[in-house]
A and B are shown apart, each in its own frame.
Chain A
Amino acid sequence: MREWRLLDRIVLGAAWAAGLGLCLVTGAIVVYMGVRGFQYLRPDLLVTSPQIAEDGSVSGGILDPLIGTAVLTAIGLAVALPLGVCCAVWIVEYGKGGRARQSLGRLVESAIEIVAGTPDIVIAIVGIAVFQLGVLAPLSSKSPTGVVTGTSFIAAGLTMSLIALPPIYAATRDGLQAVPAHMREAAFALGKTRIATIRRVLIPSVRSNIATGTTLGISRIVGDTAIVVIVLGETLRNEPLNSTPIVGFLRGTGSTLTSYVFDNSPAGEGKAEDKAYAAAFVLLLFVLLLNIVVGRISRRQAHSSGFQAGGGRT
Chain B
Amino acid sequence: MRAAIARLRQPWSDRRAELTLGAASLAVCVIVVGMVAFVAVHAWPTIEHNGGFAWLGSGGNLDGQLQRMFETGQHPPASAYHVRAWPVIYGTLLTTSIALSIALPLALLSSIFIVEFAPSPLRRVMVPVVRLLASVPSVIYGLIGILVLVPFVGNHLITGAQKTSVQSTVELTGASLLVASVVLAVMITPIMVALISEALSGVPASWREGAMALGVHRLRATLAVSLKAIRPAIVAAGALACARALGEAIMIFMVSGSRSFAPNLDHGPLIFLYEPLRTLASVIVDNKEGFGGSPAVNSTLYAFGLLLLISAIALSLGSYLIKLPLRRYQLK
Contact = CB atoms under 8 A, between A and B. Distances in A.
The answer to whether A and B come from one shared complex is: yes
Interface of A: 1, 3-4, 8, 11-12, 14-19, 21-23, 25-26, 29-30, 32-33, 82-83, 86-87, 89-91, 93-95, 104, 107-108, 111-115, 117-123, 125-126, 128-130, 132, 143, 147, 149-150, 162, 165, 193-196, 198, 219, 222-226, 229-230, 258, 261-262, 265-267, 273, 276-277, 280, 283-284, 287-288, 290-291, 294-295, 314
B292 A147 contact: yes
A18 B105 CA distance: 9
Contacts of B193: 22
B181 to A, nearest CB: 15
A261 B144 CA distance: 11
Interface stretch (B77-85, B122-130, B163-171, B263-271): B122-130
Contacts of B32: 111-112, 114-115
Given A87-B24, A111-B33, A32 B148 contact: yes
A68 B126 CA distance: 33
Interface in B145-187: 146-148, 186
Given A83-B27, A87-B24, A89-B21, A125 B133 contact: no
A83 B28 contact: yes
A21 B126 CA distance: 11
B213 interface: no
B131 A295 contact: yes
Contacts of B33: 111
Contact of A19 (B25, B109, B190, B309): B109
Give the bracket for the number of chain B residues in contact with chain A. Answer: 35 or more
Contact of B219 (A4, A22, A222, A273): A4
A287 B135 contact: yes
Interface of B: 11-14, 17-18, 20-22, 24-29, 31-33, 35-36, 38-39, 42, 106, 109-110, 112-114, 116-118, 122, 125-133, 135-140, 142-144, 146-148, 186, 189-190, 193, 198, 217, 219-220, 223, 240, 243-244, 246-250, 253-254, 281, 284-285, 288, 291-292, 301-302, 305, 308-309, 312-313, 315-316
Going nearest first, the 6 A-B pairs with the smallest beta carbon separation are A119-B247, A223-B137, A19-B113, A18-B109, A195-B17, A90-B21
A22 B302 contact: no
25 contacts: A4-B219, A11-B223, A19-B113, A19-B126, A21-B110, A26-B133, A29-B144, A87-B25, A111-B32, A112-B32, A118-B247, A119-B243, A119-B247, A120-B247, A120-B249, A121-B247, A122-B39, A128-B291, A193-B13, A195-B14, A222-B137, A261-B143, A262-B254, A267-B254, A295-B131
Given A8-B220, A267-B254, A273-B147, A162 B31 contact: yes
Contacts, number: 257
B25 A22 contact: no
Given A4-B219, A129-B42, A225 B137 contact: yes
Contact of A125 (B13, B17, B220, B301): B301
